[in-house]
Structure 1
Amino acid sequence: MEGNVRPFAYIAIPAEANVAACYPDTADSDAATTLRELGVTAQSAAWRLGMPEFDQGGGCWARDRPNLGGLPDDQAYATWSSFYLDAKALRPYLEQSAQQRGYKWMSVCVYAFCPQYAYDLGSDVVLLERNIDEVSGMSPGLAMVRGAARQNDGRQWGIDISTYRYWNGGPTTFDDNGRLVTGWSPSVFERSMYAAFMAGADVILNEAAVYGYGAAERGRNPLGVVVGDFADFSMRRHPDRGIPEVPMAILQDHFSGYEPQFGEFDQYPHKWYRKNPYTQGDRMLSGLLEVAYPGYRSWGTIVPNAPWRVAGPDGTLDTQATQAAYRRALAAGDADPRIWEPMGSTRWGESIDVITDRARLDTLLRYRIVVLANSGPTAPDLHADLTEYVRRGGTVVVNASQLVPGPDPLTGVQISAERRPADGVLWSDGTVIPESPFNYVRIVPGRDAEIVATTTDGSPAIIGHKLGAGSVYLTTADRLLDATGRDLLASGLRLLDERQADVATVRVEGPPLQYLVNKVGTSTVVTLINTDVGGSTWQGRLRFRTDAGSAHVNEWTADAPVESLVGAEEVVVDATVPPFGVRVYGIQPGR
């Protein structure tokens, strides 16, 4: 295995964790020797998978886990971590480095809050399980696991792709005619694999599935075709996906335990296994994610007017009857399950990472824009790192409620403790932006401040401040949210739109969809993922920012040339994506 470039995972859960009843085939009393005999070292592309789905809501791993309800976030975090390190007796394994163990340790998280903490525990690589409607969706999950990995010295990360669909009560299987019996349509797998790959995942782990027909697995069933085609794309034709463009980070509270909302039963603003309400910082993070990933909360829901939704006598959802009705709808053979599989889109592409207030300067410097969504007040060491980050050319967007009242050197303003109501914002270009009622913090701007926007009564709403080679934007609306604490203000969205446009290398025009941007050498690659649950073909336009006088454009899934138009400092491509499909456009600028 030494020097092996293909990932290799050996599932071996320590017996001390006492979860063997759920994982009967994973016992190895001397996994270190087994791995050593296989030639595995701390430098190999191989891992010991010692904590699969360890943060699960139920099952063996969750047995005897303390109830976190009512605990402050820092205590909930400490209790949760101690349970795995001490009650599950994993501390001796996780406190060692990969070099000390002789191998790397892999963990698989179920919930999106978990990857940061799995790295804290000592994991070398963390996968986040997606593609199951009992947890949140690919967006914003990608941002949370990738951000956690980057914050932890660029450790490896990946996506674990489940085959199980809760709403029809089974894994993805097909009959001998290629008809879906239970699980997800193949297009969900295709879109998930492309998203994970182009987002930069080091590992994509497809959970066990049947890819052929019958007991002998002859030929390829529809899932086998999709997985085989993706393997051909990612491992043979286009193994170099380059570097994902991720210019923005959203910074949250480290101990938050924040979990994105999703599904039929998890739309409430709760976290830590549904036990505790969102904090003010969590609500700001949620508001930002709502605009960055429109519709992400629809993942795992039952689409409106689904014919298989069954209500009980009291009008509430009858889960078992609904699952049975879904299976009958699939068995009838005339239904397209793809219209029942909603997922979110991306306003700015998968161009965001979620990091925490434990991030230091080296992490901040990975990004061109950092938006604070922590509860505050900002700790002195983070405040100092943010100041240096801006001096070196970064852009920070911070809210007055995250800063201590008094003079603030980062923003160049005097911050008061006074709050006032407002219901509109006047932009510096004269545009009036009506807003839902909100409260704002009174500030006194410095002499060199740029007044980007005011409330309609003339008080500063957004202030720009130059510092060294970078800029700070201070927003005064409380958490940048309306008075209900839920929705991001339209003026805040305009500020973020403008900052994102400053750094984007591609502008995607057209109906909502999920997209990703990568740099492959001198080429720019855009992956377009059609998320329209209505089944429409996506038609739009890509505007690549370049000063090249010519360009060559290829569509990678078909390896076919595409026409383009070279204009003033841009190359324009008319793009289409079939219903529920994926297309990948790469532009190579000429000389």
Structure 2
Amino acid sequence: MKKFDIFGEIWQMSDYYYEKHMLSQNGDYPMPEPDGYPVPYPMRGIFERSKEEGLFSAFRIGGDFWPRDFKLKALDPDQQRIQIDMLRGTTDYKRPENAELQLSYEDFAEHYCNAAIDFALAHPGRVMLCAVGEIDSSHPWPKDHCFRTRKEAYEFFKYNCFHTKVGSCDPDTLYRHLKKRGLSPEQVNLMMHGACLFAIPYFFEWGFPHIEIERGLGTSLNMQVSLAYLRGAWKQFGRKARWGIDFSTHQPNYNQCCWYDENGTRLGGFTESMTLRCWMSAWMGGADYLLCEGSDYTHWVFQKDGSFGLSALGEAAKKFAGFTLRSGIDRGEPVVPGAVMLDYYNGYEQEYGVSLMRPYVWGNCLPCTNTDLNISCVLDAFFPGQREVSAHTEHVRHPECGYSTRQEYLKLLKKKTDMRYLEKGVLTPTPAGDSIDVVWDTAPPEVLREYKVLIPAGAAVLPDSVLDEYVAQGGTLAVGMEKLTPEMEQKLGIQKEKPLGSDWDYDRLALTDGSFFSDGLRYGFTRMKFPSETKILAVNSRNIPVVAEIPYGSGKVLLCTVPLGQDVSGSALLGVWSHILQNEVKKHLPVEFDSRGILEIAVNRKENGGLTLALFNSTGESWQGGILFREPVSSVREVFPQECSLASVGNRITETLEPYSVKILTTENS
């Protein structure tokens, strides 16, 4: 059974940090309103109480570990995994008590790095050093010029990741000290902490033994897409790194974390419901660990007399820890039949919080084209609604947002208004389940063959051998016409016909079996001649083929004659193409279901062959429906939020899911 850890903070908010952030009015930390109560932080008491409540199995030291080593001494690496956050080195250097040391920054950094490195070496495999971080989201992109090519942008990014000081991130100093001591990143369990999607595969390729991606803070926020990127990169680059999610509760518009007044009323951040569902999504999605960022204050309610107790989020954390750390439930490994393939140099990000609520490429230093937008269009097919996360908290973009200023937002929170309806896009319904990974077009054939269905998106370039080494071996390649080379067309026995001025339309497209149709998008297409064994799957109103199934060896090619399978504006995939992609992936899942635009389902395979299923409802409507198991099962149990056996009729069960809730089920094979 795969190990899972939950990290909490240890004494993160010292008096110095609290005063510093209050003076700078930094929204990263609880910020009382002028009429609010002063928030005391009894850090040592919180740490001891966290252990008593069993909230965490591991802890993060958020800086200030040298020259004072009391945090290091408070933890036992044999009992708890430890993460040392070295990203506050430049901040710690400026602490008043450290100024008394009269050291240059270079000398201070040497002592600081060596203290963390020595601690990691003394406890091999138990201590992670988070020493390079947020170099993707805080990258120093050029302001006065653009890049000539995407490869040039990548090289610029890579150089800065290893050499440029960004905020408190100082990789140059770190690597200099590692080299001086003859140590590799693997020997000291070095971690890369990121926040953007586009860079995730590079972190795995560059060999970081630990990779942590922060979610819930304001970049491309959808959890399912983030997990797809992480899983795919982990598989593509050798399954070597341990990876996890740092879940930050910062509500994207206000950038205020989850915290509570003395009455236990939440005054910022995501709702407890959303946070719990995201934690559970990380656990089901294959993460090795979860960091509950800011747990020193998000998990507690503080009183004026210095006493404190668990907040509503703290109670949820206790429940989550009891289930994931101590229940003995085997979560299994995610069942992922599909892979979306991207160009190695794509540099594509869907949004950057509330400051850039639109897609951009390589730090907005290259044009974002319709080909780039195809990445979002394909992801939308599997996670509809995943693009707009931060935007739902903007009154201008979404009039249903119940507030238009920070002051109105706080008034609603103080009235305990239900804000869950605004938390859209973070977790979305899944018509085909959480069933895809994201890989790069440099993935070797043995990695591609792990997936039943391969879907190139954006500017991905198919390997020359893809037909013989993937499709002929039993794989399904779902591809737009523009991705095939002349050699591939010849092997498939297809031929382009002479184009006509009427090779575009704005009409109804339909599956040839009459089961589905779509319309309302303008598109262009290529007229094709197909071999006799081809099965036409979809046609337009003129009965011209739009999607065809072409057998090849033991597999097949699903070919869309519309470039990229999307409309001419790049806003969405054609409905029939999206439907075909969903169904092709869904049929390889061991369960059958109907999401009806409400249900998100994640399916994992346990070591004993049974299944663990997570059912998520992130909408305001109840879901009730059947789940059909495509394999014999002897029993089905609900194990979260309660434990009970479920009655089945044959291999089918009926389930009900309340709004904004999650259930975990397990099965045993007959």
Match for residue 409 of structure 2 among 313, 323, 326: 326
Residues 63, 78 of structure 1: CA spacing in aligned structure 2 closer, same or farther, 3 A cutoff? closer
**Which residue of the partner structure matches residue 319 of structure 1?**
none
User: What one-letter code is carried by the residue in structure 2 that aligns with 1:495?
Assistant: I
Percent identity between the two aligned chains: 24
Counterpart amino acid of residue 213 in structure 1: V
For residues 183 and 436 of structure 2, the distance between their equivalents in structure 1, rounded to whole angstroms, comes to 29
Letter of the 2:652 partner, please give it: V
- Cα offset for 1:335? 1.3
Give the deviation of 1:28 after TM superposition: 5.8
Letter of the structure 1 residue corresponding to residue 470 of structure 2: Y
Matched, 1:77 2:154: yes
Residues 183-332 of structure 1 aligned to structure 2 (within 5 Å) = 183-209=269-295, 210=297, 211-214=299-302, 216=306, 218-261=308-351, 266-300=356-390, 301-302=392-393, 304-305=398-399, 308-310=402-404, 322-331=405-414
Greater CA drift, 488-497 or 29-38: 29-38
Letter in 1 for 2:271: S
Tell me, in whole angstroms, the C-alpha distance in 2 between the residues paired with 1:406 and 1:417.
19
Change (3 A) 1:134 1:480: closer
| Partner SS state of residue 83, structure 2 | strand
Whole-angstrom CA distance in 1 between matches of 2:669 and 2:314: 36
Which of 655, 659, 668 is 1:575 aligned to? Answer: 655
DSSP 3-state at the match of 1:228 = helix
- Which amino acid in 1 is paired with 2:412? A
Relative distance call for 1:389 and 1:433 in structure 2 (3 A) is same
Partner of 2:18: none
Instruction: Classify 1:165/1:546 alpha carbon distance in 2 versus 1 (closer, same or farther; 3 Å).
Output: same
| Equivalent runs, 1:145-544 vs 2, <5 Å | 145-154=230-239, 155-209=241-295, 210=297, 211-214=299-302, 216=306, 218-261=308-351, 266-300=356-390, 301-302=392-393, 304-305=398-399, 308-310=402-404, 322-331=405-414, 333-343=415-425, 344-375=428-459, 378=461, 382-385=463-466, 387-405=468-486, 408-409=489-490, 411-415=492-496, 418=499, 420-422=503-505, 423-425=507-509, 427-429=511-513, 433-435=517-519, 436-511=521-596, 512-520=598-606, 521-532=608-619, 535-544=620-629
CA spacing shift, 1:22–1:509, aligned 2, 3 Å: farther
Give the C-alpha shift of residue 507 in structure 1.
2.0
Asked if the contact 2:218/2:252 (under 8 Å) is kept, the reply is yes
Q: CA separation in 1, counterparts of 2:514 and 2:256?
A: 56
Aligned to 1:10: 84
Deviation at 1:426, TM superposition (A): 5.1
CA distance in 2, matches of 1:407, 1:35: 52
- In the TM superposition, residue 588 of structure 1 has moved relative to its aligned partner by 1.8
**Structure 1: distance between partners of 2:491 and 2:440:** 19
Deviations 1:240-272 (A, max 9, x none): 210111110000111111112476554433233
User: For residue 131 of structure 1, what is the amino acid of its counterpart?
Assistant: G
Counterpart AA for 2:644: A
C-alpha displacement at 1:195, in angstroms?
0.4
Shift of 1:73: 2.0
Please state whether the residue corresponding to 2:434 is helix, strand or coil.
coil
- How far does residue 192 in structure 1 lie from its aligned partner after superposition? 0.7
Q: Alpha-carbon deviation of 1:197?
A: 0.5
Give the aligned partner of residue 585 of structure 1.
Answer: 665
1:47 is the counterpart of 2:132? no
CA contact 1:40–1:46 (8 Å) conserved in 2: no
Amino acid at match of 1:403: L
- 2:67 corresponds in structure 1 to none
Q: Is the 1:168–1:324 Cα contact (8 Å) retained in structure 2?
A: no
Structure having the higher Rg: 2
**Conserved in 2, the CA contact under 8 Å of 1:526 and 1:584?**
yes
Q: Pairwise mapping of residues 39-118 of structure 1 onto structure 2 (< 5 A)?
A: 39=121, 44-57=125-138, 62-63=139-140, 69=146, 71-88=148-165, 90=171, 93=175, 101-118=186-203
Q: Give the Cα separation in 2 of the matches to 1:407 and 1:365.
A: 18
Runs of 5+ consecutive residues of structure 1 not aligned to the other structure = 311-321
SS at match of 2:525: strand
User: Conserved in 2, the CA contact under 8 Å of 1:20 and 1:27?
Assistant: no
Instruction: Report the AA paired with residue 403 of structure 2.
Output: R
The answer for the alignment partner of 2:59 in structure 1 is none
Query: Which has the larger strand fraction?
Result: 1
Question: Which range moves more in the overlay, 284-293 or 503-512?
Answer: 503-512
Q: Secondary structure at the match of 1:453?
A: strand
2:635 counterpart residue number: 551
- The secondary structure found in structure 2 opposite 1:129 is strand
CA distance in 2 between partners of 1:432 and 1:38 (Å):
58
Please state whether the residue corresponding to 1:354 is helix, strand or coil: strand
Instruction: Return closer, same or farther for 1:228/1:470 CA change in 2, 3 Å cut-off.
Output: same
Q: Secondary structure at the match of 2:642?
A: coil
Distance 1:23 1:140 in 2: 39
- In structure 2, give the amino acid aligned to 1:492: W
Mapped pair 1:565 → 2:668: no
Contact map agreement 1:69 1:272 (CA 8 A) in 2: no
Alignment correspondent of 2:27: none
Q: 1:558 deviation in Å?
A: 0.9
Q: Which moved more, 1:413-422 or 1:234-243?
A: 413-422
Preserved contact between residue 410 and residue 472 of structure 1 (Cα < 8 Å): no
In the alignment, the residues of structure 2 paired with residue 22 and residue 472 of structure 1 have an alpha-carbon distance, to the nearest angstrom, of: 60
1:497 CA drift (Å) = 2.9
Match of 1:165, SS state, is: coil
Separation in 1, partners of 2:481, 2:355: 34
Deviation at 1:432, TM superposition (A): 7.8
Shift of 1:454: 3.9
Which secondary structure does the structure 2 equivalent of 1:345 belong to?
A: coil
Does the Cα contact within 8 Å between 1:259 and 1:270 map onto a contact in 2? yes
Q: Which stretch shows the higher mean deviation, 579-588 or 255-264? A: 255-264
Q: Evaluate the alpha carbon distance shift between residue 507 and residue 278 of structure 1 in structure 2; reply closer, same or farther with a 3 A threshold.
A: farther
2:161 counterpart SS class: helix
User: For 2:527 and 2:183, how far apart are their aligned partners in 1?
Assistant: 51
Q: Secondary structure at the match of 2:267?
A: strand
Larger CA deviation: 149-158 vs 94-103: 94-103
Q: Match of 2:248, as an amino acid?
A: S
SS in 2 for 1:565: coil
* Alpha-carbon offset, residue 2 of structure 1: 12
1:337 corresponds to which letter in structure 2? M
Partners of 1:415 and 1:40 in 2: CA distance: 65
Q: CA contact under 8 A between 2:432 and 2:583: conserved in structure 1?
A: no
In structure 2, the residue matched to 1:125 is 210
Partner Cα distance (2:211, 2:493) in 1:
40
Deviations 1:78-106 (A, max 9, x none): 11111222344747849999867512221
What CA distance in whole angstroms lies between the structure 1 residues aligned with 2:481 and 2:187? Answer: 48
In 2, the alpha carbon distance for the partners of 1:432 and 1:213 equals 52
CA deviation vs aligned residue, 1:293-319 (integer Å, no higher than 9, x gap): 111123122274557533xxxxxxxxx
